[in-house]
Amino acid sequence: MASIFGFRSRDPARDRQADIARLDRLAKLFEQIAAEIKAEKTGLESRYRKTATNAAFLVEAMENGSASEKRSSEVSALTQSILNCERRIAALSRQDGLMKELRHSLDMVFDEDGASDSADFARPAGAGRA
């Protein structure tokens, strides 16, 4: 499109392509980060269960006299590990929630730009999922 001042604007279809490519990269990054968070949380939850079980058995053994009271420092260490796991799992849950919010916001930007009205272009990867 030419104007009387010699300024040419870019084709709106090209702008939409650039926007969609940018949003697609962001969507893929959010999905990658969300997968990293989920993997860390899953592994941590497994270690948490194992540590809690070990602590419970050790406390029970100490109460039954099967283990010496000297192992109380081991119980303290396991307790501290459990508390650390709980804090980290809570932090990962918050991060996961943030990734979902960001992903939803990205979908909203995509919808506001009107790019979803064009049959010529696809939505960003994973669009519509939150």
CATH topology for the 12-117 domain: Helix Hairpins (1.10.287)
**Spatial distance between the Cα atoms of 121 and 17, rounded to a whole number of angstroms:** 7
Q: Tell me, what's the pLDDT at 113?
A: 63
Within the chain, strands assigned E span: none
Coil, strand or helix at 2:
strand
Per-residue pLDDT tens over the stretch 78-105: 999 999 999 999 999 999 999 999 999 9
Q: With a cut of 70, list the residues of the chain below it in pLDDT.
A: 1-4, 113-130
Q: Tell me, what's the pLDDT at 121?
A: 41
Question: For residue 99, how many other CB atoms are within 10 A of its CB?
Answer: 21
The CA–CA distances, whole Å, from 90 to 37, 48, 49 equal: 12, 13, 15
Token pair for 64: 């039954």
